[in-house]
Amino acid sequence: MGDTCPIRRGVLQGDPLFPYLFNITLDWALSQVPADVGTRLAGTPLSYIAYADDVALTASTPSGLQASLDVLIQEAAKVGLELGIPKCATLTIRGDGKRKRGRPGAPVSCDLGCGRVESLGHILQSCPKLAPERTARHNHMLQLLVKQLSKRNYTILKEPNIRTTAGMRKPDVVVFDRHQSVVLDVQIVSDNSIRDALVHAHGLKKSYYDVGEIRSWVREKTRLNLVYTTLTINWRGIMATPSYMALKSLGLTKADLRLLTVRSLEGSVATLRSHRDMGGWS
């Protein structure tokens, strides 16, 4: 190595030597960036990421990032490089301990001691310790529905016991007027990602009551042909489309249907509060 000499001219960006000269000078400038302030990736400190003329400096603290930036500007200037300030930007990722509390190995079983994995769906739909709350949620919805239908001059038979070959059936209500009779049952079901899950749940409940003995019983009481429908809502407050259309055909308004949804959500909130109180949440 001889004496150093000042840089007097360079090469154009399209010159074949340009990538080599650029990478050599930039690599040298980056080598001066302090490694101890970088973020850690799989246990290895990472101070910068570079691809061609794009460089990203990383640091675990704002002061560390500023120190890395000062060094890069200073060392790049020594070899004739400077940052394109209008094209530079910062990105901050802040830790959020309150909302990110995942703890590997932490107990996930239900606080009420039923032995199952605790989740919102478990609390609202299946925890055996909260069966009374779920029954109350169902009954409050049924009471509101009966009140709404009564205002439309329907005759309502509540929870009739109908004996069938498959056992006793007890639909929530049989509703009828001079023109039609409807066997209607209320259910709040789990939220399910399967497509048309609400429609499927509605269909299952209809088929449960669509038996010959129930048809005969209703015709004897009302002297009318009958249809079967349900009020099916999931615990997020979403109503099955067939339920919505059937209740609209019975004269319920959009406001009535929204109120039924609100009543179901109120019951779910009450169930969650009971779980909190019984589980000793602070």
Looking at residue 161, which CATH number applies to its domain?
3.40.91
Q: What sign does the dihedral 127-183-175-161 (CA atoms) show?
A: negative
Q: For residue 114, is it within any domain? A: no
Q: For residue 9, is it within any domain? A: no
Strand pairing class (162-164; 155-158):
unpaired
Q: What confidence tier does 205 reach under pLDDT thresholds 50, 70, 90?
A: very high
3-class secondary-structure state, position 179: coil
Last residue of a domain, one of 33, 66, 87: 87
d(CA 81, CA 25): 8
243-to-185, 215, 227, 247 alpha-carbon distances in Å: 10, 20, 12, 6
Q: What's the whole-number mean pLDDT along residues 105-116? A: 84
Last residue of a domain, one of 87, 104, 130: 87
Mean per-residue pLDDT over the chain, rounded: 87
- Which DSSP letter does residue 55 get? E
> Does the pLDDT at position 220 exceed 60?
yes
Task: Note whether 169 and 269 are same-domain residues.
Answer: yes
Last residue of a domain, one of 44, 66, 87: 87
At 194, the amino acid letter reads I
Task: Note whether 151 and 256 are same-domain residues.
Answer: yes
Task: Note whether 24 and 82 are same-domain residues.
Answer: yes
In sequence order, what are the residues at sequence separation of 6 or more whose Cβ sits closer than 8 angstroms to the Cβ of residue 144? 259, 260, 263
Task: Note whether 138 and 251 are same-domain residues.
Answer: yes
Q: For residue 106, is it within any domain? A: no
pLDDT of residue 40: 78
pLDDT of residue 108: 82
pLDDT of residue 158: 95
Q: For residue 182, is it within any domain? A: yes
Task: Note whether 197 and 256 are same-domain residues.
Answer: yes
Task: Note whether 139 and 258 are same-domain residues.
Answer: yes
pLDDT of residue 146: 96
Q: For residue 101, is it within any domain? A: no
d(CA 212, CA 164): 8
Instruction: Catalogue the long-range contacts made by 88-95 (C-beta closer than 8 Å, 24 or more residues apart).
Output: 90/65, 92/62
> Does the pLDDT at position 57 exceed 80?
yes
Q: What confidence tier does 77 reach under pLDDT thresholds 50, 70, 90?
A: confident
User: How many domains does the chain contain in total?
Assistant: 2
Q: For residue 107, is it within any domain? A: no
Q: For residue 170, is it within any domain? A: yes
pLDDT in tens, 224-271: 989 999 999 999 899 999 999 999 999 999 999 999 999 999 999 999
pLDDT in tens, 89-107: 887 777 666 665 666 667 7
pLDDT of residue 166: 87
Task: Note whether 184 and 63 are same-domain residues.
Answer: no
Cβ atoms 270, 118 nearer than 8 A:
no
Q: What sign does the dihedral 87-88-93-94 (CA atoms) show?
A: negative
List the domain range (segments joined by +) for residue 68: 17-87
The CB-side HSE value for 171 (13 A sphere, CA atoms) comes to 28
Task: Note whether 57 and 171 are same-domain residues.
Answer: no
Q: What is the CA radius of gyration of the chain?
A: 35
pLDDT of residue 131: 95
d(CA 196, CA 204): 12
pLDDT in tens, 139-169: 999 999 999 999 999 999 999 999 999 899 9
Q: For residue 261, is it within any domain? A: yes
Give this prediction's pTM: 0.63
Residue 150's region, left for phi above 0, alpha for psi from -120 to 50, else beta, is alpha
Six-digit token string for 99: 């909302």
Task: Note whether 154 and 240 are same-domain residues.
Answer: yes
Task: Note whether 145 and 213 are same-domain residues.
Answer: yes
Task: Note whether 39 and 140 are same-domain residues.
Answer: no
Task: Note whether 27 and 137 are same-domain residues.
Answer: no
> Does the pLDDT at position 10 exceed 70?
no
Share of the chain above pLDDT 90, in %: 50
